[in-house]
Structure 1
Amino acid sequence: MPNNLDRLQLRQTRMEQSPAILRGGFRPFFIGAATWAICALAVWLLILFGFTPSQFLEDPLAWHRHEMLFGFVGAAIAGFALTAVPNWTGRLPIAGAPLGALFGVWMAGRILPFLVSHESVLLIVLDPGFYVVLAALLAREILKSRNRNFPIVAVIGLFGIADLVDRVAMAGLADIANIGWQIGFALVIFLLAIIGGRIVPSFTRNWLVAQGAAEPLPTQPDYLDKAVLVLTALALLSWLIWPASLPTGVVVMAAAIAHVFRLVRWQGWRCRSNALLIILHVGYLWLPMGLLLLASAQWALVSETAAIHALATGAMATMILAVMSRASLGHTGRELSASRQMILSYVLISLAAVMRVSAAIGIGVQQITLTVAALAWAGAFGLFLVQFVPILTSGPIQKKSERKP
């Protein structure tokens, strides 16, 4: 029986001998997330605008909703988690053939809806099964290192259960309407609140210290941040259990205000010259904006679609693009500096969010605003792929001391 040292050496060898794209979870899954962000939206718009028959998919709207959440967002979460957990635990990352197999399962979940019906047992099991396997692998690493980040892995496991519930609903096997994607959506919002509350103030503080900025500086999460997270959880649970009610609107509104207060404490205006940082603050700003719209929707003041897209296109997509670009630079040994392409991609994702919310609210001609939003979305993730595919499919930059003479 191989001992722990043998297993460690085996994982080290597997990682070193693997193709560059399989040497870290962020590599295939960030490419997959950006590619699917474009492809899934393109398919949806072709159906929406009548260029492709709606019969091309059994339920185009349900498919669009599912793929943007459990396909695009899910891939970004997987890439982040597979990269963050080794940093948290000090253990080697999942790499090589196991990583390739994991990515293959995610890919199969994207392709199967075009080949089989929603009632297919293979599709119902395989698509959510990806997140169950991912959570199990990450939990093993967390538990072996006795790390404190197990709740984040638990959220990923629950995300897989939400995926299963949504698949069952799409298959018509149970009359559970929208609860699956709504639970998944709420879990992602909560995950953004947790992760954003760690990385945004931390990165901002580190940069301000490096610039010699004066006190006060952003602090690490404290009891106030924990209170915001508790309030956010209550707001999201209220939305799931008691929608379209006055009390739910009040709790969600309170959560929105709390997140504004939290964001102000991070002093984003002081890092406005650093595109890699300011985009994190902009992405997080969409979280309270989306919650504000969600609260208004409970009182029938705006369409809930506007709130969903403020949180999805605004908070989720902007934070995903920001984190993917920063992590891709940092974990391949590149300088943490935004290129013109990256800055343009940040501008485009912000434009996409504004236009999509505007269309949902009824500002402007809907077909025009939707088209602009779609083009800006595709441009943002297309620019990411242009810059980062060569980086993510090659090895890290060697330091001068490591280069051969």
Structure 2
Amino acid sequence: MASSAESIRAYSGPPVFSFGFRPFFLFSAAWAAVAVPVWVASMSLGDGTVGGMDGRLWHIHEMLFGYLAGVIAGFLLTAVPNWTGRLPVTGLKLAGLFALWAAGRAAGFLPASMAVAATVVDSAFLVVFAGLIWREVLAAKNRRNLPVCLLVSMLALANIAFHLRGAIPLVGPGAERGAVAVVTGLIALIGGRVTPSFTQNWTQAKGILKGPTAFNRFDAGVLALTAVALVAWVAAPHSLVTGGAMVAAGLANLARLARWRGWLVRREALVWILHLGYAWLGVGLILLGLAVLWPDAVPFTAGVHALTTGAMGVETLAIMTRASRGHTGRPRVADRATTALYLLILSAAVVRVSAPFLVEWTIALLAVSAMLWSLAFAVFVAVYGPMLWRRSL
């Protein structure tokens, strides 16, 4: 059987469908840059709706199940062959999977009278993708990554539940929390692998002897605590016990992050951005916990956006830039444009999380945050789009 590298070299179709990260990173980033202005325009210039959906709900859906689902697909379609030793999905199969994702984005503009069709079309991508990941991991007997399969399946179910809110209103908020919890769990799990690994690689190359602390029982305990806290938040978001668990999980993740000695990589943006993205995870969990314990002092939306705009926005751009450079034969070193888009997404997160605390400035800060977010992803498309669309060096 040919190796992954041999399979990719033998591929002769359009370069964009030669590996999973190419179409999904490129078009997910483009969608992230466009979708936020669409939502803002619907609120300020239109009637507050997009297609047949309330604009706010459309925004939530497209960030969680559109943009983030696309980036997760691009990452896992690239990582799973390395984990399992199986051939990557390329060519027509990859194009078909991408077409399902794109059809879901188009379905979001269908009128309310076509809600059932929109639900079926949009739900298909994550269901098919989850089945694909299960097949690859099980075929390789790669038990270590079964939790990843489970989390992707839960994201697919959360998407279906999100669409059922019209018939069963109570499932809507739970679906939103479930999706946020799933992606947060993926960051804790996978970010907790790649951040210390890439940090170790960089410190070793620089001759630094004491790098990150290796994975041990402390890390396993932090992951378990995070999982318990997130499950509690999905099931009982207003419980004081949940609030305490979320704060404890956030503090534990920040302690875990400190053990990776991120200050050692302060000279390489391609590595330190991973540490800052993980820091947002800890901050987001703490803020969500405090919003339960002291709702009059800490707005719920601050915690949500610390996780979404902060942890998810920063981590996805960090992974997309590093993977795009590495898998297209370019040096794993951040250039000025890459550093600039990191600063843009970090600024977007800071402004967005600050907005609900500064009531008199909230509307203006939301507009600034939306602009910074879109700029960050537009810069990614401008700089990395040619790398992803063309053949590797």
TM-score by length of 2: 0.95
1:238 aligned residue (232, 236, 249): 232
In structure 2, relative to structure 1, the CA distance for the partners of 1:89 and 1:281 (3 Å cut) is same
Q: Does 1:272 align with 2:236?
A: no
2:245 aligned residue (233, 246, 251): 251
Q: Which residue of 2 aligns with 1:400?
A: none
Task: Give how far 1:367 is off.
Answer: 2.3
Q: Does 1:331 align with 2:304?
A: no
**1: CA distance, partners of 2:155 / 2:92:** 24
In structure 2, relative to structure 1, the CA distance for the partners of 1:351 and 1:174 (3 Å cut) is closer
1:120 aligned residue (115, 118, 127): 115
Task: Give how far 1:353 is off.
Answer: 0.3
* Cα deviation digits, residues 244-270 of structure 1 (max 9, x gap): 222111111110110111000000001
Q: Which residue of 2 aligns with 1:193?
A: 188
Q: Which residue of 2 aligns with 1:107?
A: 102
**1: CA distance, partners of 2:266 / 2:171:** 45
1:303 aligned residue (299, 319, 330): 299
Task: Give how far 1:223 is off.
Answer: 1.2
SS of the counterpart of 1:284?
helix
Q: Does 1:31 align with 2:29?
A: no
**2: CA distance, partners of 1:43 / 1:197:** 34
Structure 2: 5+ residue stretches without partners: none
**2: CA distance, partners of 1:128 / 1:89:** 26
Q: Which residue of 1 aligns with 2:257?
A: 263
Letter in 1 for 2:328: T
* Cα deviation digits, residues 277-315 of structure 1 (max 9, x gap): 010001110011111110111021311111101110000
**2: CA distance, partners of 1:218 / 1:138:** 30
**1: CA distance, partners of 2:79 / 2:260:** 22
Q: How many residues align?
A: 388
* Cα deviation digits, residues 372-401 of structure 1 (max 9, x gap): 11111111111100111100011111xxxx
SS of the counterpart of 1:101?
helix
Q: Which residue of 1 aligns with 2:382?
A: 386
Q: Does 1:155 align with 2:156?
A: no
**2: CA distance, partners of 1:38 / 1:13:** 30
**1: CA distance, partners of 2:9 / 2:39:** 39
Mean Cα deviation higher: 30-39 or 241-250: 241-250
In structure 2, relative to structure 1, the CA distance for the partners of 1:174 and 1:360 (3 Å cut) is closer
Q: Does the CA-based 8 Å contact 2:50-2:58 persist in structure 1? A: no
TM-score by length of 1: 0.92
In structure 2, relative to structure 1, the CA distance for the partners of 1:172 and 1:27 (3 Å cut) is same
Letter in 1 for 2:391: G
Q: Which residue of 2 aligns with 1:181?
A: 176
Structure 1 segment 281-360 matched on structure 2, within 5 A: 281-299=275-293, 300=295, 301-360=297-356
Letter in 1 for 2:346: S
**2: CA distance, partners of 1:101 / 1:344:** 34
- Following TM superposition, the consecutive aligned residue runs of length 4 or more in structure 1 with deviations greater than 6 angstroms are none
**2: CA distance, partners of 1:221 / 1:198:** 8
Q: Which residue of 2 aligns with 1:54?
A: 48
Letter in 2 for 1:111: A
Task: Give how far 1:15 is off.
Answer: 6.2
Letter in 2 for 1:256: G
Task: Give how far 1:135 is off.
Answer: 1.4
Q: Does the CA-based 8 Å contact 2:345-2:372 persist in structure 1? A: yes
In structure 2, relative to structure 1, the CA distance for the partners of 1:341 and 1:364 (3 Å cut) is farther
* Cα deviation digits, residues 105-164 of structure 1 (max 9, x gap): 111111112124276332222222211211111222212222131220221111100100
Task: Give how far 1:325 is off.
Answer: 0.3
**2: CA distance, partners of 1:194 / 1:363:** 35
In structure 2, relative to structure 1, the CA distance for the partners of 1:15 and 1:389 (3 Å cut) is farther
Task: Give how far 1:362 is off.
Answer: 2.2
Q: Does 1:210 align with 2:218?
A: no
Structure 1: 5+ residue stretches without partners: 398-405
Q: Which has the larger radius of gyration?
A: 1
**2: CA distance, partners of 1:174 / 1:282:** 36
The Cα RMSD (Å) is 1.9
Q: Which residue of 2 aligns with 1:135?
A: 130
Mean Cα deviation higher: 150-159 or 26-35: 150-159
Q: Does the CA-based 8 Å contact 2:250-2:285 persist in structure 1? A: yes
Structure 1 segment 59-78 matched on structure 2, within 5 A: 59-78=54-73
In structure 2, relative to structure 1, the CA distance for the partners of 1:55 and 1:75 (3 Å cut) is closer
